[in-house]
Amino acid sequence: MKAKVAVIMGSRSDWSTMKNAADVMDALNVPYVVEVVSAHRTPDKLMNFSASAAENGFEVIIAGAGGAAHLPGMVASKTRLPVLGVPVQSKALNGMDSLLSIVQMPKGVAVGTLAIGDAGAYNAGLFACQILANNDADLAGRIEAFRNNQTETVLANSDPRES
């Protein structure tokens, strides 16, 4: 099956965070592609990737970046596809820089911003699956099973003193 989700990130160093998006999509059997696309180190690649993403069959883009994290906003400026932005936890400012850079998009170009770090990347993957599930009944069923399993696991382990 051709990938409908692209997971892009500003640097190879972002992969340990962005892998969380890949992990949940693996669990839900949703194919994706992974690519380093840097807004400031490979700006032409960024523009070409974003401008051709829809015609290349992608339906959702997950973009992770840290620091002056302009990747998600720049991608969103060149595509009509939904862009989910993941603020990578930077060393200097613990990801607050990434979060504020990504979340504060001016009116007219939308980026859906997730939480800083691993949880944000995981939820970006989950969110992408939920978007695709609107037109994929099998995937919708897998997401419901995933959620039910999560609920059952919490209910079955409600005493925090037990290991």
Chain residues that interact with ligand RP5, rule: CB under 6 A: 9-11, 13-14, 38, 65-67, 88
Closest approach, Cβ 7 to ligand RP5, in A, equals 13
Sheet of 83-88, strand order: 32-36, 5-9, 60-66, 83-88, 112-113
Q: Which amino acid is at 43?
A: P
Q: Which residue's entry shows tokens 């911003």? A: 113
Q: Which amino acid is at 140?
A: A
Q: How far apart are the first and last CA of the chain?
A: 40
If the CB atoms of residues 13 and 29 are measured against ligand RP5, the closer one turns out to be 13
Closest approach, Cβ 140 to ligand RP5, in A, equals 32
If the CB atoms of residues 104 and 157 are measured against ligand RP5, the closer one turns out to be 104
If the CB atoms of residues 7 and 133 are measured against ligand RP5, the closer one turns out to be 7
Mark the binding-site residues, compressed into ranges: 11, 14, 41
